[in-house]
């Protein structure tokens, strides 16, 4: 299943350039012509605003990205080292 969020769509035509068999732009918004076109996933990935939603990218829409934790550990003690 493929859907287009018309509130997000800017009419940039990136989807049409990648997948002319699957999309067209009407009234400055992308419109799905053929949901079974082989290039749909490439058009989904090419959309700069994420307005095209397909079954293959629903996991990106549903799960937030959690940043990894890491880096150096904080030193114990007062710091500063030894003075002479």
How many angstroms separate the CA atoms of 55 and 3, rounded? 9
> What is the pairing mode between strands 2-4 and 29-32?
unpaired
**pLDDT (mean) for 18-46:** 94
Q: Whole-model pTM?
A: 0.63
Contact 32, 2 (CB under 8 A): yes
Domains for the chain: give ranges and CATH numbers. Answer: 2-62 (3.30.70.20)
For the stretch 34-83, pLDDT in tens is 999 999 999 999 999 999 998 866 544 545 556 667 666 666 666 666 66
pLDDT at residue 29 greater than cutoff 90 = yes
């Amino acid at each position: 299943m493929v859907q287009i969020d018309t509130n997000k769509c800017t009419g940039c035509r990136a989807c049409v350039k990648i997948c002319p068999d699957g999309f067209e732009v009407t009234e400055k918004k992308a419109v799905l012509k053929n949901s079974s076109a082989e290039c749909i996933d490439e058009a989904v990935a090419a959309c700069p605003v994420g307005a095209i939603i397909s079954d293959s990218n629903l996991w990106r829409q549903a799960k937030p990205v959690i940043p990894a934790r890491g880096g150096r550990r904080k030193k114990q003690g007062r710091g500063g080292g030894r003075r002479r």
